[in-house]
């Protein structure tokens, strides 16, 4: 689950940089603006967040806005050294976070969840989930920088958003289009048809694919020119195989999985079983 080495803020396109966490190659994305930067999904461990803040400070860059692509814990983190800029999310994402934080034990549950990883005391939760809901249907991130289009959909989690920086030809995909993780469907939420939700989201991303030279997943490697369509097709093939009850021919699971990601096969098995159970419940 973890790569080794000090995280480094590195450019992946003109005006766009990435900072990679040891935790499942989590990508924090920096988009440069006139007066500061937009910071998307910063994470994950305390020393990594502090390193990111120091790297930005070393470049003379201030965080003027943040954005969380969705409501999972590793996309809702922050650090005091990053400052107090507004942190945005879609209305549905923010509603999920509010509901989670209404539980007084919410942060304790995250810490408990992290115990097996050895990171339970390394993930800062004091500024966890402090995001501002954008009005439903908001089309762009409100900040003084290159226009960043919000592509909201219901795959993975309610109110999940990809961000398209059209003039820089960069797609920030959130927890989709990964080269190491399979599509993770919202099988435990209230989604009536999580398969169709995922396919619909892939169609939305396909709609901007011709304008994308760089695709940045929430976890995994950054993809270069032409790779976005290949990743969309691979994710679609996986989801269609899952719907058909077939074993996907997918390099992210089975013997061809990248070293250190063998556990993704277990994730697939869990999804297949949950989907079968969901079908059985609907037929009962």
Q: Which of 220, 146, 172 is nearest to 29 (CA)?
A: 172
User: If you average pLDDT over every residue of the chain, what do you get?
Assistant: 94
The pLDDT assigned to 1 comes to 41
Please give the pLDDT value at position 191.
Answer: 75
Residue 45 and residue 21: Cα distance in Å, rounded?
A: 7
Give me the pLDDT at residue 230, please: 97
pLDDT at 2: 39
d(CA 110, CA 112): 5
Provide the 8-state DSSP code for 29: E
- Is residue 89 within 8 Å of 67, Cβ to Cβ? yes
**Are 38 and 69 a contacting pair, CB within 8 Å?**
no
Residue 222 is given by DSSP the state P
Specify burial of residue 187 (Cβ count, 10 A radius: 0-12, 13-18, 19+).
middle
Q: Are residues 247 and 203 in contact, defined by beta-carbon separation less than 8 angstroms?
A: no
Q: Which residues, given as ranges, of the chain have pLDDT below 50?
A: 1-4
What angle, rounded to 10 degrees, do the helices at 194-206 and 227-244 form?
160
Domains by residue range for the chain, with CATH: 10-283 (3.60.15.10)
DSSP-derived pairing of the beta strands 87-89 and 214-217: unpaired
Beta strands 132-133; 149-153: pairing state? unpaired
pLDDT of residue 225: 82
Residue 281: the pLDDT is 77
- Separate counts of helices (H) and strands (E) for the chain: 6, 11
Per-residue pLDDT at 4: 44
pLDDT of residue 3: 41
Neighbouring C-alpha atoms within 13 Å toward the C-beta of 46 = 10
* Residue 227: per-residue pLDDT: 95
| Cα 109 to Cα 119: distance, rounded to the nearest angstrom | 13
For 124-179, give the DSSP string: --TTTT--EEPPTT--B--SSSS--EEEEE-SSSTTEEEEEEGGGTEEEEESSS-S
Q: Can you give the pTM of this predicted structure?
A: 0.94
Please give the pLDDT value at position 279: 78
Give CA–CA dist 108/125, Å, rounded.
10
- pLDDT attached to residue 7: 60
150 has which bridge partners? 163
Bridge partners for 38 per DSSP: 31, 65
């Amino acid at each position: 689950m973890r790569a080794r080495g000090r995280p480094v803020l590195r450019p992946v396109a003109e005006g766009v940089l990435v900072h990679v966490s040891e935790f499942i190659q989590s990508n924090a994305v920096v988009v440069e603006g006139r007066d500061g930067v937009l910071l998307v999904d910063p994470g994950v461990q305390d020393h990594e967040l502090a390193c990111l803040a120091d790297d930005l400070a070393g470049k003379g860059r201030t965080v003027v806005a943040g954005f969380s692509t969705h409501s999972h814990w590793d996309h809702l983190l922050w650090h005091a050294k990053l400052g107090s800029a507004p942190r945005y999310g879609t209305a549905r994402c923010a509603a999920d976070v509010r509901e989670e934080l209404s539980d007084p034990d919410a942060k304790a549950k995250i810490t408990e969840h992290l115990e097996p990883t050895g990171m339970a005391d390394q993930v800062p939760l004091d500024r966890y989930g402090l995001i501002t809901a954008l009005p439903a249907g908001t089309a762009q991130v409100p900040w003084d920088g290159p226009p960043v289009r919000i592509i909201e959909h219901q795959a993975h989690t309610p109110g999940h958003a990809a961000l398209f920086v059209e003039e820089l030809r960069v797609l920030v995909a959130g927890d989709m289009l990964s080269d190491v993780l399979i599509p993770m469907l919202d099988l435990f939420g209230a989604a009536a048809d999580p398969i169709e939700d995922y396919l619909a989201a892939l169609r939305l991303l396909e709609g901007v694919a011709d304008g994308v030279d760089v695709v940045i997943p929430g976890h995994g490697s950054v993809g270069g020119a032409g790779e976005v369509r290949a990743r969309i097709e691979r994710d679609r093939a996986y989801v269609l195989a899952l719907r058909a009850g077939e074993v996907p021919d997918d390099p992210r699971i089975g013997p061809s999985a990248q070293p250190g990601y063998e556990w993704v096969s277990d994730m697939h098995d869990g999804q297949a079983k949950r989907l079968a159970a969901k079908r059985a419940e609907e037929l009962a």
